[in-house]
Structure 1
């Protein structure tokens, strides 16, 4: 119990309370008018002048109910209890004072943990004191407490709902950051890796074959142009108002052919696409390309003495399958440590599929992925 109270006591205020708006002033003005009107038209109202003065003094506290909830609750309920004492135990008959229920509601909704606890003590003590010095019937006392607890429960529900929405928003932001990290790694990092490979090949051949070095420079220019184009596309999508989807930033299965290469230095890349790749969900279409792109990049960078990289995409009515393998030297364990494989696994898992990577029996490295054609993302829309 002590730990529970400590956690409630240490809870901070909810962020960004609504600032005072024009309708807050209208609310105060309307209820001040109702107090005056009610005091004038009800001839049997006990201690009319006293309770009208107390009510008019309480009404302006509504303006600060979100920013200073503890202070306004303390002032309002202490003033009400003092009015009961001055009236000789007579409770206020002003029905317009029901607006005071907005104060404990705001306290629970916008106050910090310690403010809620202290304010609750003030409300309960002043309410019990007022009831004790007055001649209220037991039914009226119970009814008043039920209404007060209902208001507090409503404030707690609103606070919980706002917190749940904030957590949901934070989760969306986290998923968006992870998605952008995967796109940056799979697109821009791919092109940068290709430029590094071309530059290394150009330096090796510069002395003996200037033409090969020039070819490497031209390929570096092409890769840099592609990387710049994809970066501009990402920035454009991030600055636009419409939602960003994976398919907006990336090519699809039909572009896997662009990964093929016949190189004088380093392994060649052969691409084979079979089956029906039409009408694939955008997320699946993009994911297959990105998985193939990252796998080819890893093979070109890490596969020792490899001469060939095979990329096979096969699509049927239920799933799309990707297989990328090279014929490099046998490897032990994972030589592709980093964010690449992690991002590939996450991308496949988000779509309800799988992605596995490891040494190929006998020689080289293989990456295999299976994505359902009706992905989890597509089904959830």
Structure 2
């Protein structure tokens, strides 16, 4: 069931529902007031004027200020038509304002306050009030035949002003309420858009750092190695060149993929830098291409969801990149990736010495920050720090049992 607030916003803010509601009310009121009697001539004048007002009010959701000005002129004109009917056709109409007219004016005021700027809303409201007061004064008073004589009932000004004031406050209050709700909704949407944009920027920044920094670091490391042995062993330096060429080519491919993603010409996550369906093979490839003495242990006995495979591969890749950039005299890097009891356990540890070692390629970047964000987004925990004695260690624990459905312990207790 829709909330009353949503119903009000739909009726007052849309021309279709508002037109239908006003015409339905007008038809019901016309039947109750005896449109099928001998008074039809006089009543048609009034109904025509009211129908015109309903049409103007229905357009208020598109041009509220213009509708207010037109309605302010239409109300007195309609009253003149009704007054003319009062003179030419007897008996006259029997009421000052129809309920439909009152509702139409209230809806017009509410839409005006909701949609128009503050200055236009104030001006439009004043013009509508002047038009309504003029229409009220022009129309004939309520008359009724009593014992062959026609009695004229003139409404008390105090009562009319009081009722009009209450209806005016209600209309303005409704318009202000809807105006504030619209403002809050816009702010909420803007906040969601900004959050989504920030999330996309962070994801692209992580991908850019993980992929490009990996290949660029490989190029720098092998270039420095080739430079160091160039004079003593030119053949060894020459053997490094294909690795540099391959890394540069893959870096360019990764950049093209990211640019294509930004332009929308390629789906996010496409390209050569992405994981395949075989996480074990992907990790082996990354470790072999790292140029480090890696001791690899893989124990992926449980299914790793595709959304986790990319993050695991990037964590291994970035950890190895950090070892190349920041550690010196590395003789062993232990890489361990396993799944136990619905949790991915990842560990990358080297025995290098980073004391006083300037990072290759310049100052340190956002690698650890990006890895921590990536793990925490998946609900895991991340730690990184120096090992006792020498070296650096990265550890991550990422739960996957919840993603897979039933927690692992529960599924083992209830095998199907």
Report the TM-score, using the length of structure 1 for normalisation: 0.69
**Aligned twin of 2:327:** 303
Q: State the alpha-carbon separation in 2 of the partners of residues 161 and 312 from structure 1.
A: 48
Q: Which residue of 2 aligns with 1:274?
A: 299
1:357 is matched with which residue: 350, 371, 384?
384
* Paired positions, count: 353
Distance, in Å, in 1 between the alignment partners of 2:356 and 2:126 is 67
The reply on whether 1:257 has 2:284 as its aligned counterpart is: yes
Query: Partners of 1:242 and 1:93 in 2: how far apart?
Result: 62
Deviation at 1:63, TM superposition (A): 5.2
Q: 1:201 and 2:219 equivalent?
A: no
Query: What SS does the corresponding residue of 2:334 show, helix, strand or coil?
Result: strand
Q: How much does 1:217 deviate?
A: 1.8
How far apart are the structure 2 equivalents of 1:312 and 1:48?
A: 88
**Structure 1 residues 139, 269: CA separation in 2 closer, same or farther (over 3 Å shift)?**
same
For the residues of structure 2 that align with 1:243 and 1:157, how far apart are their CA atoms?
Answer: 37
| Stretches of structure 1 lacking an aligned partner (at least 5 in a row) | 1-22
Partner of 1:179: 203
Cα distance in structure 2, aligned partners of 1:200 and 1:132: 99
Structure 2: state its 5+ residue gaps: 1-13, 84-94, 137-154, 407-416
1:1-381 to structure 2, matched below 5 A, reads 43=39, 56=52, 65-66=61-62, 69=64, 72-73=67-68, 76=71, 91-93=96-98, 95=100, 98-101=103-106, 103-112=108-117, 136=160, 142=166, 145-146=169-170, 149-150=173-174, 152-238=176-262, 244=268, 250-251=274-275, 253-254=279-280, 255-261=282-288, 267-276=292-301, 278-329=302-353, 331=355, 337-374=364-401
Which of 1 and 2 has greater Rg? 2
Q: 1:376 to 1:279 in 2, by over 3 A?
A: closer
CA–CA distance in 2 between the matches of 1:77 and 1:378? 63
Contact 1:268 / 1:307 at 8 angstroms: preserved in 2?
Answer: yes
Name the CA shift for 1:171/1:112 in 2 (closer, same or farther; >3 Å).
farther
CA distance in 2, matches of 1:247, 1:352: 27
The Cα RMSD (Å) is 5.2
Distance 1:262 1:250, change over 3 A: closer
Q: Tell me by how many angstroms 1:86 deviates.
A: 12
Deviates more, 1:194-203 or 1:141-150: 141-150
Instruction: Say if 1:269 and 1:310, in contact at 8 Å, map to a contact too.
Output: yes
Which residue number corresponds to residue 12 of structure 1?
none
CA change 1:234–1:94 in 2 (3 A) is same
Is the 8 Å Cα contact of residues 106 and 167 (structure 2) preserved in structure 1? no
Q: TM-score, length-normalised on structure 2? A: 0.64
The alpha carbon displacement at 1:324 in A equals: 1.0
CA separation of 1:170/1:135 partners in 2, compared to 1, >3 Å: closer, same or farther? same
